[in-house]
Structure 1
């Protein structure tokens, strides 16, 4: 259970801190001259849409873990670390190919929609339709351990990711934007990939 909590917390923090989860809100807010309240409202709504869609997908994945509960030992020792490793290698391949596959917010949103209400709906929909797949390995593991574990993973992911996004947007509005985030944007696939590979290696030695 410790590895399950640690892994879920690590990936949730990673997603909250990576610029694609908070920088677009700051830049769009600046362009549209949003107030701080409007900026936080959009971030909260879009972030919640994102975590809810990820959690809903996670609930479906957890059903597979529940079906495999009888073989949980093999699942925790082999399948889940291998899934994390495969995801990590996929992100590293995307980094090598220089493709930003994890940009949740399409730039065309800002060109097609100008009113606050329309932008709010567009950004929320964009985030809802782009669930994060990395955390799903932990939903799979949680499903094999029971619904309490599934709810724990969902709670960790929703609270940490949403809180982190709001904090980063607040910091960005008050001066963090002066720091060039392009290195992190350019290397976010590398960071994600290395994190997933590290978690896979860790979980080869520590049972979920």
Structure 2
């Protein structure tokens, strides 16, 4: 149980800190001359669309975990770490190919939608249609332990991700000239892949 909570917390925090989840809102807000309040409102709505779609997918994945509850020991010892490992390897491969698979915001779409309401709709839709897959391994494990645990994972993911995004946007707006997020942006697949790989190794030795 502790490994499940810590893993969910780690991935949620990782998502919030990686630039693709907050930097576009900072730069678009600066370009459109939004106030900090307007920028945070759009970040909150788009971020909520993102976490809701991820949670809905997670609930569906949880059903598979519930069906496998009788074989939970094998699931926790083999299937979950292997799933995390496979995702980690995939992200590392994307890093080697220099592709940013987590670029949720379509720049061309943003350029075409210049009004506040149009940008809000565009950013919200883009985030809703790109749920994060890494956390789904923890939804799968939570489903095998019961719906209370599923709700706990969903709560951790939504609260930590949204809070982190809003915090990073606020900090980014106030120190845009002092920070250089491009290294993190360029290496976000590497960071995600190594994190997932580490969680997989950890969970080979610590049961969910």
What TM-score results when the alignment is normalised by the length of structure 2? 0.99
Match of 2:200 in 1: 200
In the alignment, which residue of structure 2 is the partner of 1:174? 174
Shift of 1:179: 1.3
Equivalents in 1 of 2:160, 2:67: separation in Å? Answer: 28
- 1:149 counterpart = 2:156: no
SS at match of 1:131: coil
Unaligned runs of 5+ in 1: none
> Which moved further from structure 2: 177-186 or 162-171?
177-186
Runs (4+) off by over 6 Å? none
- 2:86 pairs with 1:92: no
1:73 correspondence with 2:73:
yes
Alignment of 1:50-61 (within 5 A): 50-61=50-61
Deviation at 1:111, TM superposition (A): 1.1
Q: TM-score, normalised by structure 1?
A: 0.99
Partner of 1:161: 161
Tell me how far 1:57 sits from its aligned partner: 0.2
The residue correspondences of 1:29-68 to structure 2 (distance < 5 A) are: 29-68=29-68
- What number of residue pairs does the alignment pair up? 208
CA distance in 2, matches of 1:38, 1:178: 22
Q: Which residue of 1 aligns with 2:20?
A: 20
Give distance in 2, aligned partners of 1:34 and 1:105: 18
Instruction: List runs of 5+ in structure 2 lacking aligned partners.
Output: none
RMSD: 0.6
